[in-house]
């Protein structure tokens, strides 16, 4: 078999890349080790930046998102017994976020690729990468796929990044001393917008997936296990952290899913080696506080699509050569914003009274200064795409 671009991973990055390349007349094959059902069901991020929304609409895969997604024009920072709204419509006019689950984006992209005759293969075993320096190829399940370029979109634990020779990559990472307990509940949201709350008990986030399904996160110890958190304890802790302002009552209901997510920051540089180009979680991880993971993957794919189009249409390698440098500018901005949001809202060491006072001081600044609030809003809705 032969194709122009071999893509490893059928998450948002791999599927969107395949679809955008298809729109430019460039062939690809997507290889995914999981089943289609697994890929479409796994719950991940749900906050889409303005640029991500625009990209999906422009690519012709945003119809259901436009119909079912929940546009938000602000978020609430809740601390010290009061809530403070960061109003996107005033601070960054014309830009907002849309709440639409990552699994729904994946469903839309799979449907679009298959309806267009795209080659997306699920439950593929033993994917391996070869010949990155000159003539790359992939092997899987006893078959061989020759290609001009390989795109590694297979996440943090995939095979793409480890295929780069030792000593080429420089890795930057940080582990946080806590994790997030994520809950998906069959209960209408208790707020029209996301609530980020900082308390002495720890951080909590009130989010949503639809008018009837809510998403919550609790800061928990890094070694926490799901079985330590029965439903009654989860609701009690959410109430303790979220019902901190007068008149607010948290609605409770059936918990459908729960899981513990470690908090880490990770960047591997460069995001390319030979004919291999990394995108999304294969190259970088951000803590979910800033809602940047999926959006960074889309940003990578946009850059890579233009670089590959220039290569296949004109024979130019300039954009491919500069792919990593172009992506990393946005990656590091998102890394800083995610780290900042995380350190601003989470409880660290219990005896760190100095750190807690710094947190409260900066929260006061963000909620009272239009300049500071604009910086938060601009980064949250997503910086404009580079030319």
SS3 letters for the chain? CEEEEEEECCCHHHHHHHHHHHHCCCCEEEECCCCHHHHHHCCCCCEECHHHHHHHHHCCCCHHHHHHCEEECEEEEEECCEEEEEEHHHHCCCCCEEECCHHHHHHHHHHHHHHCCCEEECCCCCCEEECCCCCCEEEECCEEEEEEEEEECCCCCCCCHHHCCCCCCEEEEEEEEEEEEEEEEECCCCCCCCEEEEECCEEEEEEEEECCEEEEEEEEECCCCHHHCCHHHHHHHHHHHHCCCCCCCCCCCEEEEEEEEEEEEEEEECCEECCEEECHHHCEECCHHHCCHHHHHHHHHHHHHHHHHHHHHHCCCHHHHCHHHHHHHHHHHHHHHHHHHHHHHCCCCCCCHHHHHHHHHHHHHHHHCHHHHHHHHHHHHCCCCCC
Q: Which of 288, 311, 323, 346 is catalytic?
A: 288
Q: Which of 33, 72, 73, 107 is catalytic?
A: 72
Cα separation, 278 vs 292, in Å, equals: 17
79 part of the active site: no
- Tens-place pLDDT, residues 105-135: 999 999 999 999 999 999 999 999 999 998 9
- Tens-place pLDDT, residues 209-245: 999 999 999 999 999 999 999 999 999 999 999 999 9
Quickly tell me which residue has 């900066």 as its tokens: 362
Domain boundaries along the sequence of the chain? 2-72+96-173+264-348
- Tens-place pLDDT, residues 144-199: 999 999 999 999 999 999 999 999 999 999 999 999 999 999 999 999 999 999 99
Say what the pLDDT of residue 351 is. Answer: 73
pTM of the model: 0.95
Cα separation, 259 vs 245, in Å, equals: 27
Say what the pLDDT of residue 65 is. Answer: 97
Say what the pLDDT of residue 69 is. Answer: 96
Whether 108 and 69 have beta carbons less than 8 Å apart is answered as: no
Q: Which of 79, 100, 196, 217 is catalytic?
A: 196
Band (pLDDT 50/70/90 cuts) for residue 380 is very high
- The mean pLDDT of the chain is 96
380 part of the active site: yes
For residue 29, say if its preceding peptide bond is cis, omega within 30 degrees of 0. no
Whether 363 and 77 have beta carbons less than 8 Å apart is answered as: yes
Say what the pLDDT of residue 181 is. Answer: 97
Say what the pLDDT of residue 42 is. Answer: 83
- Tens-place pLDDT, residues 268-296: 999 999 999 999 999 999 999 999 999 99
Q: Is the pLDDT of residue 56 over 90?
A: yes
| Averaged pLDDT for residues 27-38 | 97
Cα separation, 280 vs 210, in Å, equals: 26
- Tens-place pLDDT, residues 35-51: 999 999 887 778 999 99
- Which of the four CATH numbers 3.50.50.60, 3.40.50.720, 3.30.420.40, 3.60.21.10 does domain 2-72+96-173+264-348 have? 3.50.50.60
217 part of the active site: no
| Averaged pLDDT for residues 290-312 | 97
Say what the pLDDT of residue 40 is. Answer: 93
100 part of the active site: no
∠ CA 213-216-220, rounded to 5°: 155
Q: Is the pLDDT of residue 386 over 90?
A: no
Say what the pLDDT of residue 46 is. Answer: 86
Alpha carbon dihedral 364, 85, 181, 283, in 10-degree steps, equals -90
Say what the pLDDT of residue 8 is. Answer: 98
| Averaged pLDDT for residues 298-306 | 98
Say what the pLDDT of residue 291 is. Answer: 92
336 part of the active site: no
Say what the pLDDT of residue 349 is. Answer: 82
Q: In degrees rounded to 5, what are phi and psi of residue 276?
A: -105, 130
- Tens-place pLDDT, residues 331-373: 999 999 999 999 999 998 877 899 999 999 999 999 999 999 9
Say what the pLDDT of residue 45 is. Answer: 77
Say what the pLDDT of residue 272 is. Answer: 98
Say what the pLDDT of residue 162 is. Answer: 97
């Amino acid at each position: 078999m032969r194709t122009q671009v071999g893509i490893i991973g059928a998450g948002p990055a791999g599927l969107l890349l395949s679809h955008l390349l298809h729109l430019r007349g460039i062939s690809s094959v997507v290889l995914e080790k999981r089943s289609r059902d697994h890929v479409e069901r796994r719950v991940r991020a749900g906050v889409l930046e303005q640029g991500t929304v625009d990209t999906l609409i422009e690519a012709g895969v945003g119809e259901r998102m436009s119909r079912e997604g929940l546009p938000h024009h602000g978020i609430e920072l809740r601390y010290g017994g009061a809530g403070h709204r960061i109003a996107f419509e005033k601070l960054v006019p014309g830009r907002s976020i849309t709440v639409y689950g990552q699994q729904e984006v994946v469903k839309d992209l799979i449907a679009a690729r298959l309806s267009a005759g795209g080659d997306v293969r699920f439950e593929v075993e033993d994917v391996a990468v070869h010949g990155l320096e000159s003539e790359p190829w992939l092997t899987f399940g006893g078959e061989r796929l020759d290609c001009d370029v390989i795109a590694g979109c297979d996440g943090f634990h995939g095979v793409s990044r480890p295929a780069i020779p030792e000593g080429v990559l420089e890795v930057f990472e940080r582990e946080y001393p806590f994790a997030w307990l994520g809950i998906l509940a069959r209960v209408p949201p208790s707020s029209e917008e996301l609530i980020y709350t900082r308390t002495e008990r720890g951080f909590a986030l009130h989010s949503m997936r639809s008018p009837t399904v809510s998403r919550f996160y609790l800061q928990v110890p890094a070694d926490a296990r799901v079985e330590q958190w029965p439903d009654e304890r989860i609701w009690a802790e959410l109430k303790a952290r979220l019902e901190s302002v007068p008149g607010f009552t948290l609605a409770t209901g059936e918990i459908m899913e729960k899981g513990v997510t470690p908090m880490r920051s990770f960047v591997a540089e460069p995001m390319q080696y030979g004919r291999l180009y990394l995108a999304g979680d294969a190259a970088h991880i951000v803590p979910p506080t800033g809602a940047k993971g999926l959006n960074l993957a889309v940003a990578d794919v946009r850059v890579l699509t233009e670089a590959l189009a220039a290569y296949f249409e004109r024979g130019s390698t300039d954009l491919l050569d500069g792919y990593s440098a172009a992506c990393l500018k946005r990656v590091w901005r998102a890394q800083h914003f995610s780290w900042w949001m995380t350190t601003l809202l989470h409880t660290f060491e219990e005896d760190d009274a100095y750190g807690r006072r710094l947190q409260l001081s900066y929260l006061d600044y963000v909620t009272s200064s239009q300049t500071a609030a604009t910086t938060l809003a601009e980064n949250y809705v997503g910086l404009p795409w580079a030319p």
